[in-house]
């Protein structure tokens, strides 16, 4: 953002944008598609519109939705040591903590790797589908999007995926470990989660929710 707000000019507040990280004020100027407006003070990306971003995010969200469900119930790792076999799904892994107080940890784990990502996908679809179809925003779409944003740091599917790799190495000399179908689903899921974040311009979503028929 180049246009630093001038304190002497009585600009209307609707023409301003304030960096949420450092409180710097700029005059709102929406960049071209594919360009970025970056905070000069702290380098945060303020606006980054992408062409057809809504459609891409919806497609990614739908794929994510089915991948999460698939990854949850299909086995994702199996083990074979001297004829003793075992295979586990992500749900099994979360509920490995199931004795006594560790049950809380099981719920937390299941939440961080399955439920939070799932809730975020549903909220994203709920908010974006009406926008992309040029319909009026869904009821409480703002609250839904705000909640989805608040959940963002608690969505940890990608961390779980790296955890699989670490676990594999840890038991490599103990047993033969094989990948189940859900392992690849989880791999794909990580790529999608990262991709969704790079397409999502939060400011554009807020703006279209505020002015439904202008975009």
Partner 1 sequence: MEFSGTSQQILSAREMGIVACTRCTKAWPMGTQTCARCGHKMVSRDFGSLQRVWAFWIMGLMCYVPANTYPMLQTRTLFQSDESTIVGGAVELAQHGAFGIAFIILLASVAIPLAKFWAIAFLAVSVKSRRATANHSRQIMYEVVEYIGRWSMIDIFVVAILSSLVQLNTLASINPGPASMFFALSVIFTMLSAQAFDSRMIWDEQAKDEDPS
User: Angle at the Cα of 95 (from 93 to 96), degrees rounded to 5?
Assistant: 65
Residues 6+ apart with CB under 8 A from 62: 125
- Candidates 4, 21, 102, 210; binder of Zn ion (CB under 5 A) is 21
Where do we find the tokens 């809380």?
Answer: 104
**Does residue 197 belong to the site contacting partner 1 (CB under 8 A)?**
no
To partner 1, the closest distance from the beta carbon of 197 in angstroms equals 12
- DSSP, collapsed to helix, strand or coil, labels residue 17 as strand
Q: Which of residues 113-142 bind partner 1 (CB under 8 A)?
A: 113, 142
- Candidates 177, 188, 195, 212; binder of partner 1 (CB under 8 A) is 177
Residue 185 interacting entry, from Zn ion, partner 1, none, C-beta within 5 to 8 Å by type: none
Question: How many whole angstroms separate alpha carbon 86 and alpha carbon 103?
Answer: 22
Question: How many whole angstroms separate alpha carbon 210 and alpha carbon 138?
Answer: 12
**Does residue 50 belong to the site contacting partner 1 (CB under 8 A)?**
no
**Does residue 9 belong to the site contacting partner 1 (CB under 8 A)?**
no
Residue 164 interacting entry, from partner 1, Zn ion, none, C-beta within 5 to 8 Å by type: partner 1
What's 4's DSSP letter?
B
To partner 1, the closest distance from the beta carbon of 65 in angstroms equals 21
């Amino acid at each position: 953002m180049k246009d630093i707000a001038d304190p002497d000019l009585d600009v209307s507040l609707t023409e301003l944008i304030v960096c949420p990280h450092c409180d710097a004020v700029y005059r709102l100027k929406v960049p071209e598609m594919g360009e970025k407006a970056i905070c000069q003070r702290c380098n945060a990306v303020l606006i980054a519109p992408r062409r057809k971003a809504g459609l891409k995010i919806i497609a990614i969200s739908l794929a994510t939705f089915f991948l999460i469900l698939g990854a949850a119930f299909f086995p994702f790792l199996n083990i074979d040591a001297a004829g003793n076999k075992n295979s586990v799904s992500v749900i099994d892994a979360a509920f490995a903590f199931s004795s006594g107080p560790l049950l809380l940890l099981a719920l937390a784990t299941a939440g961080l790797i399955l439920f939070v990502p799932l809730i975020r996908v549903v909220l994203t679809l709920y908010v974006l589908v009406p926008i992309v179809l040029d319909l009026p925003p869904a009821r409480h779409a703002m609250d839904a999007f705000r909640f989805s944003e608040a959940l963002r740091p608690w969505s940890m599917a990608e961390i779980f995926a790296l955890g699989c790799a670490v676990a594999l190495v840890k038991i490599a000399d103990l047993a033969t470990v094989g990948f189940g179908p859900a392992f690849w689903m989880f791999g794909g899921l990580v790529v999608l989660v990262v991709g969704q974040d790079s397409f999502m311009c939060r400011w554009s979503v807020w703006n279209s929710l505020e002015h439904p028929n202008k975009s």
